[in-house]
Amino acid sequence: MRSLVIGLLVLLLGVVGVARWLPLPERLAIPGSAVVLYANNSPAHVFLSADEKWRIPADLKEIDPHYLQALFALEDERFPLHTGVDVVAVGRAVASNLSAGEVVSGASTLTMQLVRMLEPRPRILKSKVIEAFRATQLEMILNKKEIL
């Protein structure tokens, strides 16, 4: 039993080390769109970002709290509590999918969905494992406010 615990601790430290060593997804470094404002702070013009996307920064304080409540309720009710992977949701999804004999439920957290947007991959089990690792990595380096 002692060897198992030591082995798991070594594995965990190895994963944490790799997560700290690997660079974050490159798309996180792309600056947002330039926004030109009128004197009253309303937008006059928005320029595309360097990757030709609309990336308009938003202050979390400016987002309707009811929207955030709905987002958490629908997408990731334990967002403040998990570290990138919601093991309760994973267990529920595995049980649901096994009992149905097909994929009927997922367990992606908001952080995992961010990873999928930053680094699109085919929707296969291997991709889910990578997304889970990258989500954990993001949660180690960014705070919840930055992830949102």
Q: For 27-76, write each residue's pLDDT tens digit.
A: 788 888 999 999 998 999 999 988 888 888 888 998 999 999 999 999 99
Mean pLDDT along residues 105-132: 93
Specify the pLDDT at position 34: 92
pTM, two decimals, is 0.78
| C-alpha span between 27 and 117 (Å, rounded) | 9
* Res. 15: pLDDT tops 80: no
Specify the pLDDT at position 29: 80
Q: How many CB atoms lie within 10 A of CB 85?
A: 20
* Res. 83: pLDDT tops 90: yes
* Res. 8: pLDDT tops 80: no
Specify the pLDDT at position 5: 74
Specify the pLDDT at position 1: 85
Q: What is the percentage of the chain residues whose pLDDT exceeds 70? A: 99
* Res. 138: pLDDT tops 90: yes
Average per-residue pLDDT for the chain: 89
Closest C-alpha among 96, 127, 97, 92 to residue 112: 127
CB-based contacts of 82, cutoff 8 Å, min separation 6: 109, 139
> Phi-psi bin for 6: left (phi > 0), alpha (psi -120 to 50), beta?
alpha
Q: What is the distance between the terminal CA atoms of the chain, rounded to a whole angstrom? A: 40
Residues 126, 122, 135, CA angle at the centre, nearest 5°?
Answer: 60
pLDDT band at 116 (very low <50, low <70, confident <90, very high): very high
